[in-house]
Amino acid sequence: MSGQRQIPWTGMVLALVTMLAMVVASVSLVLVLVVTAIWLFTLWLGRPPAEDPEPIRPPLSERPDLDAIARNAMEATVESLSIPMILTDETRIRAANAAARAVLGKHLVGQDTRIALRHPDAIRLLDQPDGATVTVPALTVSDSVWHLTRHGIDGSYRVIEMRDRTAEADVSRAHTDFVANAGHELRTPLSSIIGYVETLSDAGDKVDGALTQRFLGTVLREARRMQTLLTDLMSLSQLEAEKHDLPATLIELPQLAQRVVSEFGPTPGGAIRVQFDKQSELPEGTAPPTVRGDVKQLEQLLRNFIDNALKYGDGETPVRVALKPAPRNMTELSVTDSGAGIAPEHLPHLTRRFYRTDPGRSRAAGGTGLGLAICKHIVERHRGRLDIASKLGVGTTVSVRLPLASD
């Protein structure tokens, strides 16, 4: 029948075969869908009439807007996806899904591609062949990392796929920093041990007994420091491996707290160093607060808090340990000292590995810089919350809220 348009089966089959080839080549499934949708739309609109050798062309004002068709096809396919994707021609952005507009701006569509991408590394991608990928640092914020990949659709259109690799980069930086810091912490005592042993070995019998004993004492102290650091590193590694395993043992916190506090009892004839807050004692007949936890880890948690409070407290006022009810069916365990306090700018970073407010004082006191990092992981494994409050000249309170065990 004259004027009836034929379905371009050959072109559509070619499009589907190309789609399968892209899937076999491990091309992103999202990109495959976008390319196929746009290609099929173009073939369908451009199919010729069945019988008319010279089809009657509609007026220019009635011809379909292929840019709009392509844009609508892309938006219908990838609008709801979380991966930012933009469709470009030679110079301008023709379409962008919601994720791309959130990253590059809500007025992205219609902009010059080079102006919209802004970053020199991203602009460099426009001059590279299809399939090229570039890594773009600081595309959105200063510490962000993005991978941009250019995919060709036909001679006019390109799809740029944007993948946020900031989290992976952060993990990589954290691992690198951790290895560097651990190496530094181990190298310092090891260098000291080697230096003293070499001195004793080279001097032979020329070193008197008193000096030899002093050198050996230093070697022993530094060796124990390395041992403590390695123990903390192993604890941290184990906690990270177990962080998704919720402990199941029922623990009465007052008994655990009293047991740990008793480890820091006064020396004969000395003053009380740590006291358990009398308000924490429950009225007779009241059930003690019970949590599900790991006994050794919770003891380690409280022991670390008390040890830090004794190291950095004023030495005259005893450290106070308290246990009280908290909102949302939780209980709060806190340790308070009356020391010099911690400056506000340090508080957000105290649970970072190897972070110290005063490195020299911390090392002199035998600290490894991992104590609070270990405590944070213990609290996270127990689904609790860790808070540190401090005021200069007044003291510091470290508190942990843990969910009470349900019946």
- Confidence band, pLDDT 50/70/90 cuts, at residue 60: very low
Mean pLDDT of the chain: 80
CA distance 355 to 363: 12
What DSSP letter does each residue of 194-263 carry, written as one string?
Answer: HHHHHHHHHHGGGS-HHHHHHHHHHHHHHHHHHHHHHHHHHHHHHHHHHTTS---EEEEHHHHHHHHHHT
Per-residue burial over 182-194, b if 16 or more Cβ lie within 10 Å, else e, is beebeeebeebbe
Whole-model pTM: value is 0.58
**CB neighbours of 180 closer than 8 A, spacing ≥ 6?**
none
pLDDT of residue 331: 93
pLDDT for residue 2: 47
Q: What percent of the chain has pLDDT over 70?
A: 76
Q: 27 with 153: CB under 8 angstroms?
A: no
Distance CA 246, CA 381 (A): 6
Asked if 42 and 89 touch (Cβ cutoff 8 Å), the reply is no
| pLDDT of the residue at 306 | 94
What value does the mean pLDDT take over residues 131-144? 85
Q: Does pLDDT of 4 surpass 90?
A: no
In whole angstroms, give the CA distance from residue 96 to residue 87: 6
| pLDDT of 157 strictly over 50 | yes
The pLDDT, as a whole number, for residue 383 is 93
pLDDT class of 25 with cuts at 50, 70, 90: low
pLDDT of amino acid 380: 92
More confident residue, 294 or 175: 294
The answer to whether the CB of 334 falls within 8 A of the CB of 389 is: no
CATH architecture of 167-242: Orthogonal Bundle (1.10)
Q: Which fold has domain 9-164?
A: Beta-Lactamase (3.30.450)
- Residue 376 is predicted with a pLDDT of 93
Question: Mutual orientation of helices 9-24 and 29-45 as an angle, nearest 10°?
Answer: 170
Q: Using CA atoms, how far apart are residues 20 and 13, in angstroms rounded to an integer?
A: 11
Q: Is the pLDDT score of 35 beyond 70?
A: no
Q: Boundaries of CATH 3.30.450.20 in the chain?
A: 9-164
For residue 126, pLDDT beyond 60: yes
Which has the higher per-residue pLDDT, 365 or 159? Answer: 159
Give the 3-state secondary structure of residue 8: coil
Range of weakest confidence among 79-93, 214-228, 385-399:
79-93
Instruction: Say how far apart CA 269 and CA 291 lie, in whole Å.
Output: 36
Residue 384 has pLDDT above 90, yes or no: yes
Residue 312 pLDDT level (bands cut at 50, 70, 90):
confident
- pLDDT at residue 302 in the model: 95
pLDDT digits (tens, 9 = 90+) for 333-368: 999 999 889 999 999 988 988 887 876 666 666 677
Cross-strand partners of 291 = 251, 404
pLDDT of res. 144: 85
Q: Which residues of 287-321 are buried (b: 16+ CB within 10 A; e: fewer)?
A: eebbbbbbeebbbbbbbbbbbbbbbbbeeeebbbb
Residue 251 neighbours by CB distance under 10 Å: 20
User: What pLDDT score was predicted for residue 149?
Assistant: 92
- Residue partners of 376: CB distance under 8 A and separation at least 6: 351, 386
What integer pLDDT is reported at residue 363 of this predicted model? 64
Does 199 or 184 have the greater pLDDT score? 199
Q: Which amino acid would we find at residue 278?
A: K
Q: Where does CATH 1.10.287.130 sit in the chain?
A: 167-242
**Pick from 235, 403, 226: which is nearest to 332 by CA?**
403
pLDDT of residue 386: 95
* Lowest pLDDT segment from 70-79, 152-161, 339-348: 70-79
Grade residue 284 by pLDDT with cuts at 50, 70 and 90: low
Task: Give CA separation, 65 vs 56, 68, 155, in Å.
Answer: 18, 5, 17
Q: Which residues pair with 401 in a beta bridge?
A: 332, 385
Predicted pLDDT at 26: 65
Provide CATH 3.30.565.10 ranges for the chain.
245-407
Higher-pLDDT residue of 206, 399: 399
Residue 311 above 80 pLDDT?
Answer: yes
**Nearest partner of 95 among 125, 123, 72, judged by Cα:** 72
Give 406 or 227, the one with higher predicted confidence: 227
Residues near 21 by beta carbon (within 8 Å), at least 6 away in sequence = none
**3-class SS shares of the chain: helix, strand, coil, % to 5:** 50, 20, 35
- Which segment, 2-6, 112-116, 263-267, is predicted with the most confidence on average? 112-116
Q: How far is CA 262 from CA 89, 266, 378, in A?
A: 74, 9, 22
Burial of 398 (0-12, 13-18, 19+ CB in 10 A): buried
Fold of 245-407: Heat Shock Protein 90 (3.30.565)
Q: Where are the alpha helices (DSSP H) in 284-382?
A: 295-312, 359-364, 371-381
Nearest to 215 by CA among 194, 191, 196, 192: 196
385 pLDDT higher than 90: yes
